Amino acid sequence: MNVDQIQNCLKSSNPQDRMRGITALRLFEPEVAVPLLMARLDDPEFIIRSQAAMGLGYKQSSAAFNALMQVLEQEPDPNVRAEAANSLSLYGDAAVPHLVRMFWRDRDWLIRLSILAALGEMDCADELFEVCYYGLADDDLIVREAAIAHLAFLVDTDYEQAALKQLLALTEVEDWQLRRMVALALGQFQDQQAQTALAQLRQDEDYRVVAATLEGLLAQS
């Protein structure tokens, strides 16, 4: 499709046409794509807004960056905000402080999972440890599990021992899901303390935790 055809699709009352228009923009440079993507950030369909936010992560410009920030601040649907967080992370170091700030401000579990995953793929051990540390106290079990899992991303960084300390403190936590995640995370550490903790968790009362310790011990071998 050419630009005129894409614009017609984006103005269509049919959501499928608008989706086709957004998809077609992948072949165009940011100067063309960004304004058209930004125009769909207020689309009545959340899936269209989400796809527009995704596109702004790949068609990068200062205007696109600012638009993604606005989505994080104002978008009511957490699915779209999560996509905006993913897209913002593609801008690299410039995005890190904004993602950390949104982790503090936005307590939706999906947003926090997206930010943890994004920071885990970036070179920002300081900020990753910060969000993991506070994620461990989140009200949502899924966020706590993700925080535990991402502590393992801090192996071979200046925060390895700090991350290990947090994991060791959770080996007797009440929820078996968390103990299972601790066992999996400990498997990424070569430290003797991690091996000792895995050996202890191998005696856990829940077979799913025991299975995770075996995975962890295999990872260390």
Residue 101: give its domain's CATH number: 1.25.10.10
Q: Dump the DSSP string for 161-194.
A: HHHHHHHHTTTT-S-HHHHHHHHHHHTT--SHHH
Domain range for 213: 148-221
Is residue 71 pLDDT above 80, yes or no? yes
Q: Using an 8 Å Cβ cutoff, are 172 and 201 in contact? A: no
Whether residue 175 is contained in a domain is answered as: yes
Q: Using an 8 Å Cβ cutoff, are 88 and 58 in contact? A: no
Residues 18 and 116 in one domain: yes
Compute the average pLDDT of residues 21-37.
Answer: 95
Residues 116 and 203 in one domain: no
Is residue 214 pLDDT above 90, yes or no? no
* Mean pLDDT across the chain: 95
Q: Give the predicted TM-score (pTM) of the model.
A: 0.91
Whether residue 137 is contained in a domain is answered as: no
Per-residue pLDDT tens over the stretch 158-211: 999 999 999 999 999 999 999 999 999 999 999 999 999 999 999 999 999 999
Closest CA to 211 of 177, 173, 168: 177
Residues 170 and 75 in one domain: no
Q: Give residue 1's pLDDT.
A: 87
Residues 98 and 3 in one domain: yes
Is residue 217 pLDDT above 80, yes or no? no
Q: Give residue 216's pLDDT.
A: 63
Per-residue tokens: 157 = 């960084």
Rounded to whole angstroms, how far apart are CA atoms 136 and 124? 18
Compute the average pLDDT of residues 16-33.
Answer: 95
Q: Using an 8 Å Cβ cutoff, are 76 and 104 in contact? A: no
Q: Give residue 34's pLDDT.
A: 97
Domain count, the chain: 2
- The proportion of the chain whose per-residue pLDDT surpasses 70, expressed as a percent, equals 97
